[in-house]
Chains A and B, each alone.
Chain A
Amino acid sequence: MKIRAEHITKEFGEFAALVDVSIEIPSGELVALLGPSGSGKTTLLRVIAGLEVAQKGRVFLGDEEITHATIQARGIGFVFQDYALFEHLTVAENIAFGLSVRKQPAAKIELRVRDLLARVQLSELSTRLPSELSGGQRQRVALARALAPDPKVLLLDEPFGALDARVRAELRTWLRRLHDDLHITSVFVTHDQEEALEVADRIVVLDHGKIEQVGSPNEVFDRPASAFVIEFLGGANVLRGEVHGDRGSFGELVLPWTGAGDGAARAFVRGHDLELGREPVPQSLSVTIQDVREIGITARVVVTHLDHGELVIELSRRRLAELALVRGDRAIATVRTASVFLDNPPPSQALS
């Protein structure tokens, strides 16, 4: 079922957690709310679930307005960051909770619990207490418990936040597969861009209580809407310069500028969008090799440039071997693609 939030404003005392945020989450999608801590992503999730009440704005589930509905009446499955399992109940009793409070017949509850236990691969652990489970197992119990009453949508707050790297990666793939099976509209909050890019159908990037960009993982990655988005996604070099008319100059480098406005600007270039060579070509940066690191199939080369300082370039180890570059060598770096943003964008440029 689709979720729509209109003009949500939520303040905690002086702190504005959400400022006039509007968003629509299409039915059946798996959407990531991505942003740093304090960006408002968790607050938005909790407002949708009714765990927080916004000062302004309206929330819809499908075509029904739920702005003032009680938490129970919304029929939303919620997975809490630290799971919030009922410590005194077994795994099976935790999963059954949402059904037994609705006074469902025992036989029906048992069938549903057994089905969900199998789905989250915990059938053998049904009589354990939460304190006897690992972090990943608790996470799966929390998910099964949220799914048991057949919620209209599923909301997950930092679902993998408290787990170690290997379990995280496993659960990510598992959640994606589960979503492909169930097709339940799902929204999860994360501060990990890799997680969002890998798992989500659509990413909503938030910062300071505002939406910076909404798009598919590729759109967000390839065409970041603001300097914040590309910085938050990480791995970009920054070249300082200025734009004027239809072009920007960044040291000896000239890049096209299609946006509105003039002034001081930054060009963001990802490590793998810089190419290294030995022969001088026009539109390039002359650099000195500072450090070479080989990591599996890729290599990371740190170079220094007179104006722009240190830049990090990523290339394949094969290409590095062809170039035969070592520390202290002089080389040429060319830019494949760059994202240029004004330091002080005019207000109209913010979002289209």
Chain B
Amino acid sequence: MKILVCISNVPDTTTKIKLNGEKTAIDLAGVQWIINPWDELALTRALELKEASAGKITKISVISVGSQGAEPTIRKALAIGADDAIRINTEPKDAYFAAFQVAEAVKTEAYDIILCGIESSDYNGSAFGGMLAEFMDLPSVSSVSSFELTGDVVKVNREIPGGYEVVEPQLPFVAVVQKGIAKEPRIPSMRGIMMARQKPLKVVEAIMADALTGFVAFEPPQPKAACKMVDPANVAELVDLLHKEAKII
């Protein structure tokens, strides 16, 4: 069995967002880039499954659509434990464009399980995984919060309001994962970092494809009014403010 983990390269979650002068883009100078947190957890779970599979899972690959600048992030995924990596050499214009690139690049590779995150922490697209599944004509399960593999049978928990459903998909399939899929992301070991340098990272050129959406302008959020402090000796005042001023109770 082979597993593919799709990785998006995103600014560190603590990044302060600044805009460029024309407000047409986020100013990315000095930003630290990371593996999208969901993808890091997906990769962690894939490695756990491989280790527990007694040789049944033979390979874990990662793939990312991105320019040269995404390579440190891809190398980190190799250092965490992926066996090999593919980079599709182009800026991901939108999810439709990026998912199409990945679908074309891996269609002859016969991956049994493809893992994606539920959203990228930068543009909050929530679109890529489902699109990839549709382009590849594979079943998909979204909001996956746990993943078990027994023989050839996959069972995942899918979150629903107030609980979860256990879902059994036919393989191959795409799982779009979220909280719970793995406990803590794995951290690369010294040995992992050394080995990552030797692992194959294949760069493939992008093919012609359409993007259906585009960002044209950005703005910061509305500044918030200063917090009104309530005297701890008179908390009843808070109730009064919520009722009369905020009018929400």
A, B bound: no
